[in-house]
Amino acid sequence: MNPPKPASRPDKVSLWRYLRLFRQDILSAQPQRLYRAWMAEFKTPFFRSYLLNQPQLIDIVLRERPMDFPKSNRIAEGLRPLLGNSVFLTNGETWKRQRRIIDPAFEGGRLRAAFGSVADAGEAAVKRLQSEQGPLEFEAVTSHLAADVIFRSLFSIPISHDVAAQVFAEFKEFQRSQPIVNPAALVPMPRWIPRLHRRKTRAAAKRIRALIGNLTAERAGQIAQGSAPDDLATKIMTTPDPETGQVFDTGEMIDQVAIFFLAGHETSASALSWALYLLALYPEAQDRVADEAAGLSDTPDFSELSKLRFTRDVFRETLRLYPPVPMMVREATGAENFRDRDIAKGAQLVISPWHLHRHERLWDEPNAFDPDRFSTAAGKASAQSAYIPFSAGARVCTGAGFAMMEGTLLLALLVRSARFSTVPGKTPVPVAHLTVRSKDGIWLTSEPR
């Protein structure tokens, strides 16, 4: 049995239907032929867009010449009210400076230092589940859990903290008001003309940034007094740019915390809910995860992650089938020629983990759930050339190692405590807005083991 596919995969889609579907859900807008094509061109009245599936082309854009293909502003415009000039949206020298300051927070022993925060959030989620009865919508459960991880790791506060709870509530409002693409971004216009955003989107973003600003200002005071905890926020706020010696000011830090919350909360919640669904769909795999998790101590230590090899592969396979960020858009800064096609300056280049991870010419049984594929020669080769859940190259996600540690540990803790099963009549249908989620939620039942 294969996991569910998007609602539909027509082989041909008209421009206007595509734009309508794209705004609602980019997954069901994609024709079936794109899951076997190496490259495809899509024409609009305003620009040309090219989907790249061939690994060699993806390597050129992401690994070999990333500065020639900066992030496109067309998709990013919708996130601007919340993320400002965060590292997720910037390009060029600004982006390089931001990465020089941020990257050290996720290097070396920082994962070990953050492990306890993730474990504490996981145990808190286990206790909450034990008090629940009947079917639950698990995207809400994993969103709460992932937000708890972010606040504990960044600011050493649980989600029960008043400000953390307010940010979480406001972020849910932002998600509801945020379209997948800002329609104004599809029409070329000078940069000095402001983009239009929904009033609710702007208002929610403003409230979130104000709350994050309060947390950042409080932490700055603790740093000045020498009483700040040794967490990610302190590390990032005290790390100087090795080239200029400057640190982030308050406004810049608000931008970065906003993307850490978006990337670390939204993407982790998506992946974890799909992982639990897949394990509920495949009880034998769930039992294997439970057996591994049973070998953990009551209070797991970072060194015990090595015991969770199959659990890690379950999470990797989940990221293959349901990559939280389904598409990445780059812009050509000059004329190119790919597969004998002339690519004009300004063209949009779409690299889609959703298509790449399910590509019929790159994976054996691409729509099947098979965590063991990563231990086979064919699976390893496919993963090497066609697996980019965290992007690749210079712009690979800074928190990729953190995300893998978090997902593996939380999955183990949850499955150690409960057995998950699907709910009849509640088959989730994947759609994409900020991340890949289910159209009507992911409904599961959990029973104590």
* pLDDT tens string 319-369: 999 999 888 889 999 999 999 999 999 998 999 999 999 999 999 999 999
- Asked whether 53 and 38 are in contact (CB, 8 A), the reply is yes
Burial tier of 298 (Cβ tally within 10 Å: 0-12, 13-18, 19+): exposed
- Asked whether 292 and 406 are in contact (CB, 8 A), the reply is no
pTM greater than the 0.85 cutoff: yes
* pLDDT level of residue 70 (50, 70, 90 thresholds): very high
Of the listed ranges 197-201, 286-290, 431-435, the one predicted with least confidence: 197-201
Read off the pLDDT of each residue in 244-255 and give the average, rounded to a whole number: 90
**Which of 79-105 are b and which e, b meaning 16 or more Cβ less than 10 Å from the residue's Cβ?**
bbbbbbebbbbbbeeebebbbebbeeb
* pLDDT tens string 13-59: 454 455 455 545 566 666 788 899 999 998 766 678 899 999 999 99
What distance in Å separates the CA atoms of residue 40 and residue 440, rounded to the nearest whole number?
31
- Residue 425, pLDDT score: 93
Q: Does CATH place domain 15-448 in 1.20.1740.10?
A: no
199 or 294, higher pLDDT: 294
SS3 percent helix, strand, coil of the chain, rounded to 5, is 55, 10, 35
What distance in Å separates the CA atoms of residue 387 and residue 384, rounded to the nearest whole number?
7
Tokens standing for 59?
């390597």
SS3 375: helix
**Which of 419-446 are b and which e, b meaning 16 or more Cβ less than 10 Å from the residue's Cβ?**
bbbbbeebebbbbbebbbbbeeebbbbb
- Residue 189, pLDDT score: 43
Q: Please check the confidence at residue 185 and state whether its pLDDT lies above 60.
A: no
> Which residues are paired to 436 by β-bridges?
432
Q: Please check the confidence at residue 186 and state whether its pLDDT lies above 50.
A: no
Read off the pLDDT of each residue in 136-146 and give the average, rounded to a whole number: 92
CB atoms within 10 A of CB 110: 18
DSSP class of residue 206 equals H
Of the segments 1-10, 45-54, 116-125, which one has the largest average pLDDT value?
Answer: 116-125
- Residue 259, pLDDT score: 85
Taking CA 292 as the corner, what is the angle to CA 291 and CA 293, rounded to the nearest 5 degrees? 90
For tokens 């850490």, name the residue. 260
Read off the pLDDT of each residue in 295-321 and give the average, rounded to a whole number: 96
Computed over every residue of the chain, the mean pLDDT equals 86
* pLDDT level of residue 85 (50, 70, 90 thresholds): confident
- Asked whether 175 and 78 are in contact (CB, 8 A), the reply is no
- Residue 193, pLDDT score: 38
Read off the pLDDT of each residue in 93-120 and give the average, rounded to a whole number: 89
What distance in Å separates the CA atoms of residue 155 and residue 236, rounded to the nearest whole number?
11
- Asked whether 122 and 148 are in contact (CB, 8 A), the reply is no
CB atoms within 10 A of CB 53: 22
* pLDDT level of residue 154 (50, 70, 90 thresholds): very high
- What percent of the chain clears pLDDT 70, i.e. is strictly above it? 86
Of the listed ranges 5-9, 81-85, 149-153, 296-300, the one predicted with least confidence: 5-9
CB atoms within 10 A of CB 108: 8
* pLDDT tens string 256-302: 988 888 778 889 999 999 999 999 999 999 999 999 999 999 999 99
What distance in Å separates the CA atoms of residue 401 and residue 251, rounded to the nearest whole number?
27
What residues does each domain of the chain span?
Answer: 15-448
